[in-house]
Structure 1
Amino acid sequence: MTYSTQKQFKKKMLSSLVLASLASGAFTVIAAEGDEAAIERMTVTTQKRVQAIQDVPVTVSAFSGEMLEHLGIADLDVLSDITPGLVIQEQSPNNPGFVIRGITSDSGSAQASPRVSVYYNGTDISRSRGSYFELFDIERVEVVKGPQATLFGTAASVGALSVTTRKPQEEFEAAVTLGAGNFSAKNVNGFITGGEEKVQGRLAFTYKERDGYVDNIAQNQPDLHGIERTGIRPSLRFTPNEDLTVDLVYNYEKNNDTGTAFKSRRFAPTGGDTSPYSFVEASGSPLAQQVFGKSDLGVERTVKDLNLTANWDLSEQWQLTSISAKRSFDSLEVFDADGTQAWFLEFAEDAVGDQFSQELRLNYSGDKLNSFFGVSYFDEDGSQLVPFSTEESVFLNCIGRLAALNQPCINPNGTVNILTPVLTEGLAQVLPYQGSYQNFGENTAFSIFADMSYAVTEQLELTAGLRYVEEDKTSRYASNFANSVLAKAPLLPVVSTNGQIFSAEGSFDAWLPRFNALYRLNEQLNVYATVSKGRRSEVMDVGSANSAAGVVPRVTEIPAEYIWNYEAGIKGSTANNELRYAVSMFYQDYQNFQVSLRDDAGNTYTANAGNAKNIGIETELSVTLTDHLDWFANLAWIDAKIDDDSSNGNLAGNRFRLQPEYTAGTGLMHSYELGGEYQLNSSLIYSFRSDIFFEEANAPVAGFDISQGAVQLTSLRVGLENTQQHWSVTLYSSNLFDKEYLVDAGNTGGAFGFPSFIPGAPAFFGIEFTKSFM
Structure 2
Amino acid sequence: MYNQPINDNHSFRIAGLYREMDGIVENNACSADSYYGNANMYNHLGEEVPCNSEDLQGVSVQALRATWRANYDQLEIIARAAMEYNDQPGIVFKSGSIAPNGGGTSPFTDAEFSLGSELGIERTLQAYDLTVNYDFNQMLSLHADAYYKDVEVSEGFDADGSALRIQDAYFDNDATLKGASMRLVYDSGDKLAAFVGTSITQDDSILPYYVMVDPFVRETFDAVKAQLEATSNIPLNQNIATDASLEEIEALRAMLVSQLFNEDGSPISNPALPPILIQGPFIFEAELDIASYVAEVSYFVTDDINITAGIRYIDETRYTRNTYTTADGAFTFDAERDFDDTLPRFAVSYDVNNNWNVYANYARGRRSPVVDANAGGVNVTKPEIVDSYDLGIKYQSANFLFSGAIFTYEYSDYQQSFTDAETLQSITVTVGDSTMSGIEGMATYNYSETLTLTASLGFLDAEFADNTADGSEFQYGGNKFRLAPEVSGAININKVFNMDSFDIDVNWLTSFQSEVFFESSNYPGLSQDTYSLTDVSLKLLQDNSKFAYELYVNNLFDKEFLIDAGNTGGGLGIPTFVRGMPRIAGVRVYYEF
Query: Does structure 1 residue 593 correspond to structure 2 residue 414?
Result: yes
For 1:81-96, what aligned pairs fall within 5 Å after superposition?
none
Describe the SS at the equivalent of 2:442: strand
Query: Does structure 1 residue 317 correspond to structure 2 residue 139?
Result: yes
Residues 1:203 and 1:563: Cα distance change in structure 2 (over 3 Å): same
The answer to which structure has the higher strand fraction is 2
Aligned-pair distance for 1:533? 0.8
Q: Is the 8 A contact 1:268 1:414 kept in 2?
A: no
Query: Does structure 1 residue 655 correspond to structure 2 residue 477?
Result: no
Q: Aligned to 1:352, which of 174, 189, 193?
A: 174
Aligned-pair distance for 1:407? 7.5
What amino acid is the match of 1:593? Y
Aligned-pair distance for 1:273? 0.9
Deviations 1:414-462 (A, max 9, x none): 532112x2xx3xxx56353332323221111111111111001011110
For 1:313-712, what aligned pairs fall within 5 Å after superposition?
313-366=135-188, 367-400=190-223, 408-411=259-262, 415-419=266-270, 421=271, 424=272, 430-482=275-327, 498-545=329-376, 554-574=377-397, 576=398, 578-601=399-422, 602-645=424-467, 647-676=472-501, 678-700=502-524, 705-712=525-532
Q: Is the 8 A contact 2:210 2:278 kept in 1?
A: no
Query: Does structure 1 residue 217 correspond to structure 2 residue 28?
Result: yes
Q: Is the 8 A contact 1:610 1:648 kept in 2?
A: no
What amino acid is the match of 1:750? G
Residues 1:370 and 1:411: Cα distance change in structure 2 (over 3 Å): farther
Q: Is the 8 A contact 2:224 2:259 kept in 1?
A: no
Cα distance between partner residues in 2 of 1:660 and 1:406: 32
Aligned-pair distance for 1:406? 12
Aligned-pair distance for 1:262? 1.2
Cα distance between partner residues in 2 of 1:281 and 1:392: 20
Deviations 1:490-513 (A, max 9, x none): xxxxxxxx3333111111111101
What amino acid is the match of 2:27? N
Describe the SS at the equivalent of 2:448: coil
Aligned-pair distance for 1:477? 0.8
Residue 35 of structure 1: aligned partner: none
Deviations 1:220-243 (A, max 9, x none): 11010011111211111111x221
Describe the SS at the equivalent of 1:719: strand
Cα distance between partner residues in 2 of 1:720 and 1:414: 55
Deviations 1:509-529 (A, max 9, x none): 111010100011001211011
Moved more, 737-746 or 242-251: 242-251
Cα distance between partner residues in 1 of 2:2 and 2:557: 33
What amino acid is the match of 2:198? V
Q: Is the 8 A contact 1:595 1:607 kept in 2?
A: yes
What amino acid is the match of 2:155? E
Aligned-pair distance for 1:401? 5.2
Query: Does structure 1 residue 741 correspond to structure 2 residue 561?
Result: yes
What amino acid is the match of 1:658? L
Residues 1:584 and 1:394: Cα distance change in structure 2 (over 3 Å): same
Aligned-pair distance for 1:479? 1.3
Residue 250 of structure 1: aligned partner: 81
Higher relative contact order (CA 8 A, sep 6+): 1
Residues 1:560 and 1:628: Cα distance change in structure 2 (over 3 Å): same
Q: Is the 8 A contact 2:98 2:257 kept in 1?
A: no
Q: Is the 8 A contact 1:437 1:479 kept in 2?
A: yes
Cα distance between partner residues in 1 of 2:169 and 2:139: 56
Describe the SS at the equivalent of 1:499: strand
Deviations 1:523-548 (A, max 9, x none): 12110111111111111122224xxx
Residue 43 of structure 2: aligned partner: none
What amino acid is the match of 1:722? Q
Cα distance between partner residues in 2 of 1:530 and 1:347: 45
Cα distance between partner residues in 2 of 1:234 and 1:754: 46
Describe the SS at the equivalent of 1:649: coil
Cα distance between partner residues in 1 of 2:367 and 2:201: 15
Cα distance between partner residues in 1 of 2:473 and 2:66: 50
TM-score, normalised with respect to structure 2: 0.87
What amino acid is the match of 1:247? I
Residues 1:723 and 1:251: Cα distance change in structure 2 (over 3 Å): farther
For 1:255-274, what aligned pairs fall within 5 Å after superposition?
255-274=86-105
What amino acid is the match of 1:224? L
Aligned-pair distance for 1:473? 1.0
What amino acid is the match of 2:18? Y
Q: Aligned to 1:770, which of 572, 590, 593?
A: 590
Residues 1:413 and 1:726: Cα distance change in structure 2 (over 3 Å): farther
Deviations 1:712-766 (A, max 9, x none): 1011111211231221111111111110011111110111112111111100111
Deviations 1:686-734 (A, max 9, x none): 110111111111113xxxx111111210111112112312211111111
Deviations 1:665-701 (A, max 9, x none): 121233332112x21122121110111111111113x
Cα distance between partner residues in 2 of 1:325 and 1:234: 15
Describe the SS at the equivalent of 1:282: coil
Q: Aligned to 1:229, which of 56, 61, 84?
A: 61
Cα distance between partner residues in 2 of 1:431 and 1:225: 26
Cα distance between partner residues in 1 of 2:106 and 2:4: 49
Residues 1:445 and 1:391: Cα distance change in structure 2 (over 3 Å): same
Q: Is the 8 A contact 1:596 1:605 kept in 2?
A: yes
What amino acid is the match of 1:310? V
Residue 716 of structure 1: aligned partner: 536
Aligned-pair distance for 1:630? 2.0
Describe the SS at the equivalent of 1:716: strand
Residues 1:407 and 1:463: Cα distance change in structure 2 (over 3 Å): closer
Moved more, 398-407 or 346-355: 398-407
What amino acid is the match of 2:19? K
Q: Is the 8 A contact 1:221 1:296 kept in 2?
A: no
Question: Structure 1: 5+ residue runs without aligned partners?
Answer: 1-189, 286-294, 484-497, 546-553
Cα distance between partner residues in 2 of 1:762 and 1:661: 24
Cα distance between partner residues in 1 of 2:361 and 2:269: 62
Q: Is the 8 A contact 1:435 1:482 kept in 2?
A: no
What amino acid is the match of 1:618? E
Describe the SS at the equivalent of 1:383: strand
What amino acid is the match of 2:549? V
Q: Is the 8 A contact 2:149 2:176 kept in 1?
A: yes
Aligned-pair distance for 1:562? 0.9
Deviations 1:43-71 (A, max 9, x none): xxxxxxxxxxxxxxxxxxxxxxxxxxxxx
Cα distance between partner residues in 1 of 2:434 and 2:402: 30
Using the aligned pairs only, state the percent identity: 31
Aligned residues: 539
Residues 1:441 and 1:431: Cα distance change in structure 2 (over 3 Å): closer
Residues 1:268 and 1:361: Cα distance change in structure 2 (over 3 Å): same
What amino acid is the match of 1:685? L
For 1:27-66, what aligned pairs fall within 5 Å after superposition?
none
Q: Is the 8 A contact 2:212 2:276 kept in 1?
A: no
What amino acid is the match of 2:260? C
Q: Is the 8 A contact 1:454 1:463 kept in 2?
A: yes
Q: Give the alignment's Cα RMSD to 1 decimal.
A: 2.0
Runs of 4+ in 1 over 4 A off after TM superposition: 401-407, 411-414
